[in-house]
Amino acid sequence: MKKIGSLALVLVMALSMAACSDAKKVESKGETGAASSSAAESQDAQTEASKDEGTGSVDVTLDTSDNFVFTYEGVDILLGSEPTATLEKLGDAKNMLTVPSCAHDGTDYVYTYNNMSLTVYVATGSETGYISDVLITSDLVATPEGVEIGMAPEAARTKYGDPDQETDAMWVYNRGTSELLLTISSGKIVSIEYMIP
């Protein structure tokens, strides 16, 4: 079981590093909510990191009204939203990793759960962050529309329509300020990721 968890964490990190090569800079925060003890601890770490990384407070916002929402075990995860209430509802993560953001000026907090990971980005000088990435890591979890790893990409076309960008290896759907990325290999969806580009 520990080997599977370790492999999942390695996969998350590998995909995060791959995303760094072509990601764009975005700094924002969304709505507010209550904090759990684990979320409060990470928020304290985020605040401390922000004090060390910059001066003053960064007050930026992101329009989340049309963004993708992923539902995990009954919890709606709105891309671009302030993470505290969502993290509280999700409960304790199996693992939490703090890394300098390679895509933005700030810090990424990667929370690993069963079959998915969630990344919170905190901009340098900001006291709060936003949910910047959700990666589905197994075929035991599907999108709210019913698309899952292992399906033919045409299944996504029936649910979402034609992709906004399409190659043999990746389909990208844009919604609001968020994206849904489907990685395709050998005629099957091998990765599903929601992100703020």
Residue-wise pLDDT tens digits, 40-97: 444 444 444 444 444 444 545 678 999 999 999 999 999 999 999 999 999 999 999 9
Residue-wise pLDDT tens digits, 112-141: 999 999 999 999 988 889 999 999 999 999
pLDDT for the residue numbered 186: 96
Question: Is it the case that residue 100 has pLDDT exceeding 50?
Answer: yes
- Domain membership flag for residue 142: no
**Token pair listed for 50:** 């922000």
Residues 21 and 72 in one domain: yes
Q: How many whole angstroms separate alpha carbon 42 and alpha carbon 136?
A: 22
- Domain membership flag for residue 90: yes
Residues 22 and 59 in one domain: yes
- Domain membership flag for residue 188: yes
Q: How many whole angstroms separate alpha carbon 132 and alpha carbon 102?
A: 13
- Domain membership flag for residue 115: yes
Domain count, the chain: 2
3-state secondary structure 60-125: CCCCCCCCCEEEECCEEEECCCCCHHHHHHHCCCCEEEEEECCCCCEEEEEEEECCEEEEEEEECC
- Domain membership flag for residue 175: yes
Residues 116 and 165 in one domain: no
- Domain that residue 103 falls in: 2-136
pLDDT for the residue numbered 20: 53
Model confidence pTM above 0.75: no
- Domain membership flag for residue 180: yes
